[in-house]
């Protein structure tokens, strides 16, 4: 892949992300859940249209056997470890702002939007963009390191705007990046990412729904 091809492929999703991040400084927090959904939708549609991800291929990978699920399991364990490290770092320095981009859900509609935007869409959008599209694995070590760090930074910037928050969020991208580099299979990291989000944000959605109903 040439530099020109790389930049052309990643131009739209990068500009789309920067537009979303910029909007977070200007719009009311209660509206971010909508712009966040639009951001993910745009990324997913873009990579589906380019046929760089496929639900059919994802399904085939899910049925491909033990090696696939072993890679998914190891990736998930790495992600959980990184999450623990990020939480520990934030607890050690509580005075440092993270600039986390929060999603307000105060109605059933926004709770549904939260579920879609934090469980279903991130594995598709983030792994297609930050890992499969951004990380270059066939142009030498320098290109691999530079593009991996860039992908981790953009991943973090989509979640947090303060320097400390960006650093701790970049930790979460480490196991996903390593898994993609080792397997070169975006569906491994997509599956691990989906499971992690289902366990974390899925429980959040259930807890919120139960508390509202009670």
Question: So what's the pLDDT on residue 197?
Answer: 96
* Model confidence band, residue 1 (pLDDT cutoffs 50, 70, 90): confident
Rounded to an integer, what distance in angstroms lies between the CA atom of residue 168 and that of residue 98?
8
Question: So what's the pLDDT on residue 2?
Answer: 83
Question: So what's the pLDDT on residue 139?
Answer: 84
Tens digits of residue pLDDT in 149-159: 999 999 999 99
* Model confidence band, residue 11 (pLDDT cutoffs 50, 70, 90): very high
Question: So what's the pLDDT on residue 59?
Answer: 96
Question: So what's the pLDDT on residue 138?
Answer: 87
Tens digits of residue pLDDT in 159-199: 999 999 999 999 999 999 999 999 999 999 999 999 999 99
Tokens representing 28 are 């009311």
- Half-sphere exposure at residue 94, Cβ-oriented, CA atoms within 13 angstroms: 1
- Of 70, 115, 100, which is closest to residue 208 (Cα–Cα)? 115
123 close to 201: Cβ distance less than 8 angstroms: no
Tens digits of residue pLDDT in 50-109: 999 999 999 999 999 999 999 999 999 999 999 999 999 999 999 999 999 889 999 999
Rounded to an integer, what distance in angstroms lies between the CA atom of residue 71 and that of residue 189?
9
């Amino acid at each position: 892949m040439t530099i020109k091809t790389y930049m052309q492929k990643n131009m739209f999703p990068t500009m789309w992300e920067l537009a979303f991040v910029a909007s977070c400084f200007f719009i009311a927090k209660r509206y971010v859940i909508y712009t966040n959904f639009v951001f993910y939708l745009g990324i997913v549609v873009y990579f589906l249209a380019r046929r760089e991800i496929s639900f059919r291929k994802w399904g085939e990978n899910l049925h491909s056997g033990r090696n696939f699920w072993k890679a998914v399991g190891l990736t998930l364990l790495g992600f959980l470890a990184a999450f623990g490290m990020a939480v520990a770092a934030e607890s050690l320095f509580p005075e440092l702002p993270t600039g986390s981009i929060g999603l307000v859900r105060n109605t059933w509609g926004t709770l549904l939007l939260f579920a879609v935007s934090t469980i279903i869409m991130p594995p598709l959008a983030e792994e297609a963009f930050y890992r499969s599209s951004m990380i270059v694995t066939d142009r030498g070590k320098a290109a691999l390191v530079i593009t991996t760090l860039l992908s981790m930074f953009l991943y973090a910037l989509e979640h947090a705007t303060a320097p400390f928050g960006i650093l701790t969020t970049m930790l979460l991208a480490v196991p996903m990046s390593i898994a993609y580099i080792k397997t070169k299979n975006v569906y491994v990291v997509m599956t691990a990412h989906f499971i992690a989000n289902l366990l974390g944000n899925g429980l959040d959605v259930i807890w919120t729904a139960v508390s509202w109903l009670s």
